[in-house]
Amino acid sequence: MSTRPEAIKFAPSILAADVSRLAEEVAAVVASGADRIHVDVMDGHFVPNLTFGPVIVRRLRPVCPIPLEVHLMIEEPDRYIEAFAEAGADTLIVHQEGGIHLNRTVQAIHALGKRAGVAINPATPASLVEEILPDLELLLVMTVNPGFGGQRFLAGTLPKLRRARAMIDQVRPDCELEVDGGIEPHTINQVVDAGATVIVAGSSVFGAPGGAAVGMARLLQAIESNRA
Ligand code: DX5
Ligand code: ZN
């Protein structure tokens, strides 16, 4: 099995998984070294697509031996954080653009005993999360416009990723820096070199020819060969 820098964590997104075999798909990525499972929640308003609700998190929880992070691509996330927390999410990621009182939302996540993450869309500057950063366990820099799997990586987000890395190093070095969207073997090293520590990948893992284990191995190999 490939090795990788300890600092890099993998969060396969089940958006690209075969949901009729979800437990098997999760087991395959866990066996291949996934650190957590990424659940993409879409409401048809914040993004033009609909996906999972708390019920899928509740059903996944007992069959998933690693943490679950829930990426809430929804408007007014405050209305649903308790339901996802109760369903078994370990980390709740809300969008900076999804509500008005971000500080209150982050406090509410912490009050539920969960890790708090904030995501920013490609057009949202990193400076908009500067004041909330000391309160976060995770900052997610979207590398595609949220809403769909299988989109092309937006290289224009790399300078922002580097700025986010610098901000984190300065105010909260233990805050994780996550990327999401278009991460494949040929794009992964750009985000790792820019300072990402958590990699979300959907299509390149679950959609890989040969299956999820092959997809994970290809991503790990890409990082390894960049280091060689
Ligand atoms: C996009 C979602 C992603 C998505 C990534 O709106 O937030 O998590 O699953 O999919 P890929 O890796 O296929 O770009
Ligand atoms: Zn996501």
Rounded to the nearest whole angstrom, what is the distance from the C-alpha of residue 187 to the centroid of ligand 1? 14
- Which is the closest atom of ligand 1 to the Cα of 42? 6
182 CA to centre of ligand 1 in angstroms: 7
Cα-atom radius of gyration of the chain, to the nearest Å?
16
Pocket test for ligand 1, best of 95, 180, 206 (most atoms within 8 A of CB): 180
Can you tell me the distance from the alpha carbon of 168 to that of 196, in angstroms, rounded to the nearest whole number?
Answer: 11
pLDDT at 7 (0 to 100):
86
For the annotated catalytic residues, the residue numbers are 40, 180
Looking at the CA of residue 151, tell me the nearest atom of ligand 1. Answer: 14
pLDDT for 1 equals 43
| pLDDT on residue 4 | 62
Rounded CA separation 172/11 (Å): 21
Ligand 1 binding site (Cβ under 6 Å of any ligand atom):
13, 15-16, 38, 40, 71, 144, 146-151, 180-183, 200-204
Give the pLDDT of residue 2.
Answer: 45
Identify the pLDDT of residue 149: 98
Please state whether the predicted TM-score (pTM) of the whole model is above 0.75: yes
Please identify every stretch of the chain with a pLDDT value under 50, giving residue numbers as ranges. Answer: 1-2
**Full strand arrangement of the beta sheet holding 176-180:** 9-12, 198-201, 176-180, 138-142, 115-120, 91-95, 68-73, 37-42
Tell me how far the alpha carbon of residue 204 lies from the centroid of ligand 2, in angstroms: 14
> Which domains are seen in the chain, by residue range?
11-226 (3.20.20.70)
